[in-house]
Structures are given as C-alpha cells and as structure tokens.
Amino acid sequence: MKVVEKVQFLAYNPGVTPREGGLPGLDVLKNVISSINLFGIIAVVGALAISALVWAWGHHSGGHQAEANGKKGTVVAAGCALLLGAANGIVAFFSAMGTQVH
C-alpha cells in the first residue's frame, strides 16, 4: 500500500471505538453525572409546581398574562422532565446511529 492510500484509509477508518474502563475515575464521573441529572429532575419538579400555581393564580384572578406564563412554564417544565428522563436513551440511540455511518 502506498503512503497516500494508508492516509486515506486512516481518514475513513481511524479505528477508534468507545471502550469502558479506559480511564481512571469513570465510575466517579458516572456518579457525578447521575447526581446532576437528579438535581435537574428535582429542579423541574419545583418549576412545574411553581408554574402550575402561577397558572391557577392567573386563571382565578383574571390575570391573563400570568395565566399564559404559567401555561408556558408548565409545558417547558414537562419538556425538560421528558428530556432529563430520556437522556440515556437519546444518547444511546444517536450513538448507535453514529456507528452505522461509513
């Protein structure tokens, strides 16, 4: 194989794949990320409760702006909860899709 062909082959297939256990501290990093995800979920629960209260207060007091903001906050909090809960699945899906690219 010529040098140019070797460089082209390396550009198309560098031979790098994810490997678990390659670096020290991987378990600590997983625990940190899991804790961040937990804090995010707890924050979303608080945001959902506050948004629902603002929505109810706006509805019963006739404050249309407060009601609209409460609705927006509720939808955003629900979307964040969905994304936080599905984070592992989303990353796994796109990682699997990425392995199929040639």
pLDDT, one tens digit per residue, over 19-35 is 777 778 888 988 999 99
Are residues 39 and 84 in contact, defined by beta-carbon separation less than 8 angstroms? no
What is the rounded (10 degree) CA torsion for 24, 30, 33, 34? -160
pLDDT tens per residue, range 34-59: 999 999 999 999 999 999 999 999 99
Q: Which amino acid is at 48?
A: L
| Cut 0.85: pTM above it | no
